[in-house]
Structure 1
């Protein structure tokens, strides 16, 4: 009995290492398959995605830059935008330019208060020009009526003289009375000539055109537009939506129309520049 048990033990002992060896092989096979699957997945991901990307430490975003410059010379009182700020089209970038703006009849210091006063002054000058020109047009009608009056006076004087000539030839009136009649004709003719000259001079000023087409009125209207533009130019606005870059202006700086103040990079057309 004991011999049989020892024999069975001897026959069962080698089977345990065989089972452990089989499990190890299956585990290694599974790990190998897992690594292969991971490698294939990484390869597919690289082929579909990663191969389209490059990595570098030398890259920056670029775009078309729009230079911002003032239309006038002056002193900046406030800057509203800084580098990398996002601005929308029409946003104020600079404000309160103080400068001398030459127009036909005034010098304007364009801080907003003075610019508004200049604008009001220009509007007043326009109204005055309209009134003066309108008065010239009224005078033209009066002078034309005066010509008609002088023509009537000349005709009367000529008629009186014509009646006295036969009487003078017949010695029915004295020479002095006939001379007075002749002088009256001469005087009436001179007054008619003066009236015609006054009318022509007035017509030369109004040129026979409409009130709104008169040169003086148009010039005054131009000054109003100039004053309005001077007021508007105290504010420099962004021409389009984008990002501020290359700011080169500070409050209090004296600038001219050729001085670059900053740039705006449109947000709709940007790209990346890099060295690989």
Structure 2
């Protein structure tokens, strides 16, 4: 007789442990699936590590030609707006300014003479009119006594000739006065065309002299210096650059499939590779730029030729940084960064911030100085007001 072994009953603790393991595995699969979906779809944020620090590079170029006699800054130097950077030999500009000032003084004195001649011509007309009245009176007297034989017919003819001569003299004086008025009517001494032409020459020469001293248009750090002493420069030559480090921003190159949901004004966090995760910058989305990087490349892609392979495009998104954070932790152009944009809210009807105008007041000051030089020369030569 053979005994059949009986299977032992299952341990409840083991069964419970197996069930927990199965449940935990299921939760892990769901969590991984949700994480994968969120990563692929972007969730409520968009992230990219294809981001770089960018900023303005303000070129320093001369406005006049000449020889460089002084260089006041080098690469990595910090400058403020108005700091002298380069000086061009001003000798030729000084000579041209002195000649222009002399021409302006001469023009003012000539125009003074034109205004003074108006009174002289009025006096000449008065003299001619008096001569004509006298000649007519003489003619009338001689004609009245001609029949009595007191005067001869020849005297009467001479008196008539004197009247006609006096009339011609008066007409000539009036024409001369009209010619003088044509040169001065409707104008003051300072607004006379001859004075204005000379004044513009003085302004041009004064500006040329002022522009021989090149100053920093903005504050920042000097970069890309390529000018040396003794170099002959021409207008438009790039001598160096100034980088305003307080106005840097981030260009985050998002994939085109990530752009849906990114809107101006959304908050963004930025970490730069130079500091790592220990420094976090907080900024705002300025806007999505007008085209992809490939569209504005030096050699844009020609997708209508050859065999075409679709490539996911990247479009720059500008992130404006907090100036206070940027001052505490400075950045440099070209550094790598990682950007995360919170896309939880997107008002597509909201307009981007109004463009910020940029201007340099230094050039206005040069124009004012040139105008002051013109006014000073006119005042010194105008004499008594005509």
1:134 aligned to 90, 112, 135, which one? 112
Shift in Å, 1:250: 2.2
Match of 1:69 in 2: 61
Instruction: Give secondary structure in 2 for the equivalent of 1:145.
Output: helix
The Cα of 1:164 is off from its aligned counterpart by 1.8
Q: Secondary structure at the match of 2:226?
A: coil
1:77 partner SS? strand
Give the drift of 1:208: 4.5
CA RMSD of aligned residues (A): 2.5
More displaced 10-residue stretch of structure 1: 144-153 or 245-254: 245-254
Which residue of structure 1 lines up, in the alignment, with residue 233 of structure 2?
255
State the TM-score, normalized to the length of structure 2.
0.49
What residue in structure 1 maps to residue 75 of structure 2?
A: 83
Q: Find the residue that maps to 1:177 and give its secondary structure.
A: helix
Query: Shift of residue 165 of structure 1?
Result: 2.0
Q: For 1:143 and 1:255, locate their aligned partners in 2 and report how far apart those are by CA, in whole Å.
A: 55
Q: What residue is the counterpart of 2:220 in the other structure?
A: 242
Residue aligning to 1:143: 121
Which shifted more, 73-82 or 229-238? 73-82
CA distance in 2, matches of 1:166, 1:212: 56
> Is structure 2 residue 336 aligned with structure 1 residue 274?
yes
TM-aligned CA distance change 1:115 to 1:256, over 3 Å? closer
Between structures 1 and 2, the one with greater helix share: 1
CA distance in 1, matches of 2:127, 2:87: 63
- Cα distance change of structure 1 residues 263 and 192 upon mapping to structure 2, 3 Å threshold: same
Match of 2:374 in 1: none
Aligned partners of 2:168, 2:244: CA distance in 1, in Å? 76
| Cα distance, 1:167 vs structure 2 | 2.8
In the aligned structure 2, how far is the partner of 1:262 from the partner of 1:113?
24
Structure 1: give runs of 5+ residues left out of the alignment: 1-55, 97-110
Output the TM-score relative to the length of structure 1: 0.67
Question: What does the per-residue CA deviation read over 1:108-143, in whole Å, with 9 as the maximum and x for residues that have no partner?
Answer: xxx334433433333333222222211221111011
1:265 paired to 2:246: no
1:218 aligns with 2:196: yes
Q: Distance in 1 between matches of 2:192 and 2:113?
A: 12
Partners of 1:257 and 1:114 lie apart in 2 by: 16
Matched length: 206
Structure 1 CA distance for aligned equivalents of residues 129 and 168 of structure 2? 11
- For the pair 1:166 / 2:144, whether they are aligned, the reply is yes
Tell me if the contact between 2:132 and 2:163 (Cα under 8 Å) persists in the aligned partners: yes
The higher-RCO structure (CA 8 Å, 6+ apart) is: 1
User: What are the Cα deviations for residues 214-270 of structure 1, in whole angstroms up to 9, with x where unaligned?
Assistant: 112222222222221111011110011101112232223332223222211002113
Mapped partners of 1:180, 1:123: distance in 2: 56
Query: Which aligned pairs between 1:15-164 and structure 2 lie closer than 5 A?
Result: 62-96=54-88, 111-164=89-142
Distance (whole Å) between structure 2 residues aligned to residue 169 and residue 94 of structure 1: 96
